[in-house]
Amino acid sequence: MNIPPQYSDLESALTVNPNDVRNELIMVNPKLTSGAISIDCDRQRLLEVRICFDKDLGFRDCPEVVRQTCRRDEIIMPPVRGGGP
């Protein structure tokens, strides 16, 4: 799973459009489809990105998860804590 460079190592919160996040993840992971990814948010923040995999760790569509994707125009992507060595 590749992460778009603009989302790696964030030092401060970033305001993003959930659809842009999904599309950029698809761009850097050519086998990933929009049917296999869901962006989860609350009223203001990105909570998690859900990616569906098959038993061989290939991407697979999961309409039950995608149906619950974030519908907001803008959300805040907080920096990840605790990453690193």
Express each pLDDT in 28-82 by its tens digit: 999 999 999 999 999 999 999 999 999 999 999 999 999 989 999 999 999 876 5
| Full-model pTM | 0.85
> Residue 68 and residue 38: Cα distance in Å, rounded?
7
From 62, 54, 61, 72, select the one nearest 16 (Cα to Cα).
72
DSSP 45: B
**Residue ranges in 2-57 assigned as alpha helix (H):** 18-28
Q: How far is CA 52 from the centre of its chain?
A: 11
